[in-house]
Structure 1
Amino acid sequence: MKRHILRAKIHRATVTGANLNYEGSISIDERLLEAGKFVVFEKVDIYNVNNGNRFSTYVIPGKPGEISLNGAAARLCMPGDIIIIASYAEVEEEELHHFRPYLVYVDDKNNILEVKRDMEHVFTF
């Protein structure tokens, strides 16, 4: 059986832009994409800490420090909002013991503070 497990997240990123007239997506600083092993066009869930909005979109590379919501998603976040960007993977149950997500922590300017592979939570059955 496969389980949907957190694969990577960028924790408490600050939204720097909202472009309603762009065709869609979220533009993310390429350094953050690399740190979390995100790929272009990967589906991500966005959790807005400020207003509680939760939605899905896809990733495109952005400029240094950039976290910009594009298209319809621009109506769900405003510059200055704090968001969590999460990606999930399907993992076979026998792989859960070895699977660790990429946890990317950033400051209020979206600079990387720390990247962790969560070792505290071990799956037990």
Structure 2
Amino acid sequence: MRSILKPALIMLSLLAAADAMAQAPSLAKCTRSANLLACVDADGNTYSVNTAGSTIYLRGLEAAGKRYWVQTNSRYGQLTFFTGIASDGETWVGYNQRIGWTTINRFSSSGGSSAKFTCSRITGC
């Protein structure tokens, strides 16, 4: 699995807890405004999350591979669909569905990666 896909999905799952992420220096150092969260982690990876209504725009740079990526998420109630593309041409699609405190995540990429994983506030991912 590409190293950026799972962190991007986990980031999306944690958007509801963006305040907690911005305050946890071990995860990343973040700056936030009304609808933009911009972060850099200990490895030099950078990413930002911008919201506009029910659409979420993610963008980032994977420092090790100098790979840029963007992802767009569209939320419909408890279901979020997402698509992304990276500077090396890889694309991915997927969705996550919130059911109570649990999130079911599924994605596949043009690089051959696919996964289904469940995250919970109690047990994690």
The structure that has the greater radius of gyration is 1
Q: Greater RCO between the two (CA within 8 Å, min separation 6)?
A: 1
Provide the TM-score with structure 1 as the length reference: 0.30
